[in-house]
Amino acid sequence: MNVNEYSGVMVFAEHNDGLLEKVSLELVGKGREIAKKLDVKLSAVVLGYNSENIADELATYDVDEVIYANSEELKDYRTEPFTQVLCDIINEKKPEVFFVGATYMGRDLAPRIAARLETGLTADCTALDIDEKRNLLMTRPAFGGNLMATIICENNRPQMSTVRPGVFSKAEKKDSETPVTVIEPALKSEDMKTKVIEIVKCAKECVDISEAKVIVACGRGIGCKENIGKAKELADVLGGTLGASRAVVDNKWIDKEFQVGQTGKTVKPNLYVACGISGAIQHMAGMQDSDYIIAINKDKSAPIMKMADLAIVGDLNKVLPEMVKQIKELG
């Protein structure tokens, strides 16, 4: 492989139910930063059927090219046609960097693309940069989040990574729109090994804590599952949602969808209240960009207390009810 034949940064723009996924705009934002460092163009790829509105919306952001692949075979996600079309586009455009969101779709799709293109893939990245040799520095948690590994792919192109949602800032819109290039992939239903018979959506009340403005997070110091109700009451009066450390999730005191940290979700709320959280590096990496941090802990020397804007040394069972009481009195 002649790596010098490859140039440019490309991102896969995922969309669902007629809306761009948030991580797609985060990829565009980070992709632009990487493209500037490499002094190359940034392109974004949309796959779908009658999804012109998605491509047009993407064209209002800071990208140099939008490629829209339109086919009835791309209406619903299937690994095979999506892999085939993206590989064809990559082989034609030859980007040196290709980003995919670390979503359910992206985690299924990216490894297939990497295998077919015979290149490397770094999964679930939380940091990206470029070195002096134009290698992409792809950083991700390793060994359960106990250390961070930075990986490079020197000899193969494109350099591929899936990127954790919520880590990077969304792209900004620009004044002018980027032209959209529409292609019609030569896909035939009879050539596909699978087909979508029916899509059944499960009605489940979920909270996306990565979008929350206020989070009251529980750590091991909360003591027991029953005490989480006290944190929930504080979250309710603040108009926020619960969060949790890995220890609380491992103890099955709360669902994993509420986990904050390197092995959970990255959050950036206006207010983060850490209840009984010691402040392991894996957890703090997922919430360190919060605007204002309040830490409640019996141990005044806990690492989270040094990071906090306001540190309260005390018993959670007394502090949380008192906070709720005073907030209610303030109206």
Distance between CA atoms of residues 76 and 17, nearest Å? 10
Angle in degrees, 0-180, between the axes of helices 316-330 and 228-237, rounded to the nearest 10? 20
Say how far apart CA 246 and CA 250 lie, in whole Å: 6
> What is the model's pLDDT at position 206?
59
Q: What span, in angstroms and rounded, lies between the C-alpha atoms of 65 and 67? A: 6
**Taking 80 as the threshold, does the pLDDT of residue 40 lie above it?**
yes
List the chain domain ranges.
Answer: 3-191, 209-330
d(CA 55, CA 69): 10
* Percent of the chain whose predicted confidence (pLDDT) is above 70: 96
- Please state which CATH class domain 209-330 belongs to: alpha beta
Strand 127-130 versus strand 136-142 pairing type: antiparallel
Buried b (16+ CB within 10 A) or exposed e, 302-319: bbbbebbeebbeeebeeb
The helix-helix angle for 79-93 and 104-117 (nearest 10°) equals 50
Q: pLDDT band at residue 173, thresholds of 50, 70 and 90? A: confident
How does pLDDT run across 63-119, given as a tens digit for each residue? Answer: 999 999 999 889 889 999 999 999 999 999 999 999 999 998 999 999 999 999 999
pLDDT above 80: residue 204: no
Alpha helices in 79-183 (DSSP H): 79-93, 104-117
What pLDDT, on the 0 to 100 scale, is given for residue 284? 87
Q: Please tell me the pTM assigned to this model.
A: 0.75
Which architecture characterizes domain 3-191 according to CATH? 3-Layer(aba) Sandwich (3.40)
